[in-house]
Structure 1
């Protein structure tokens, strides 16, 4: 299977965005992993985050594709600006970390709400990618896989490492999004 340079570029870009968005789930996973969650809690949380990292960008991309047909000429600049804004928002969350809040994951509803809150960034990124007419299936699979793997990895790593790793992961993800968004603006 021969891929063109444009296809390789799309795969690389989507991988970087998926990893950047997965950093939020990774950060959360590290924090929760230090609580020594049960295997069932870790598995259900990782699967739920992976599922929401598929659903949210799918919704965003459908909205973005519609807006892309309406906005035509400025769609790429708006999409790049949204990625930059998303990256800046992630950086601001790292800077203004407030005191520790309690997160409860005793029920499936709590797990779904937590997964939804971590995956909201994927909706915005999906909207941006919809404006660029990115490959829908590839994007959703990459985002879902990254969300699942990075939240699960963060949960496992949290059992062994302290709080400091989570904040650096989100910082790194924000920087990636700002760089990619700037590329589309300029």
Structure 2
């Protein structure tokens, strides 16, 4: 049984990093604005909080759906993860000039929501597959917070070259986990 727990921890860790890749990527762009370290700290915590709330909502709804639909739920969850990963991969190649909201007040909430909305869908699929909720939420929150801080800090120092690659990496990981759930 400890091997199963370790396997789930590793899988959830990779998934958390993949979900946080969006926050890292967008953080690179926002970090290119001049931001004080205090603002970077607040942005990271806010994104981390949203990466806990959104998958929690998804997990709750996913548990309900899985109790109603049983076997179909795991395949649907895998397909959902794969779809999110593909969307991340495709959007990484569609690079239009984007205007960033200033990350304060409503702009901060919209930013945090935009980079965590995919974690709702991942939570939905995890709720259907019966994962360990506390572990998933903890890892998602920590990874999103850390990667947001990292993206913002690197964005202060560098240009946006890494943003595309982090999104491709994150999308690839989500696709892989989606296929793992489907074919299992």
* TM-score bin, normalised by smaller chain: over 0.9
**Which of these residues, 29, 46, 57, is aligned with residue 48 of structure 1?**
46
Alpha-carbon offset, residue 34 of structure 1: 1.4
Alpha-carbon offset, residue 102 of structure 1: 3.1
Unpaired runs of at least 5, structure 2 = none
CA offsets per residue over residues 38-93 of structure 1, 9 Å max, x none?
12221111110000000000000000010011110111111110100000010121
**Which of these residues, 149, 165, 168, is aligned with residue 171 of structure 1?**
168
Helix, strand or coil at the partner of 1:159: helix
Spell out the pairing of 1:1-186 with structure 2 (5 A cutoff).
4-105=2-103, 107-186=104-183
CA offsets per residue over residues 92-114 of structure 1, 9 Å max, x none?
21111212323222x32211111
RMSD (Å) for aligned C-alpha atoms: 1.1
TM-score (norm 2): 0.96
User: Aligned partners of 1:178 and 1:11: how far apart in 2?
Assistant: 18
Structure 1 runs of 4+ off > 2 angstroms?
A: none
Instruction: Answer yes or no: is the 8 Å Cα contact 2:93–2:164 preserved in 1.
Output: no
User: Aligned partners of 1:36 and 1:11: how far apart in 2?
Assistant: 36
Q: Which moves more between the two structures, 151-160 or 49-58? A: 151-160
Alpha-carbon offset, residue 5 of structure 1: 1.1
Instruction: Answer yes or no: is the 8 Å Cα contact 1:44–1:111 preserved in 2.
Output: no
User: Aligned partners of 2:179 and 2:85: how far apart in 1?
Assistant: 10
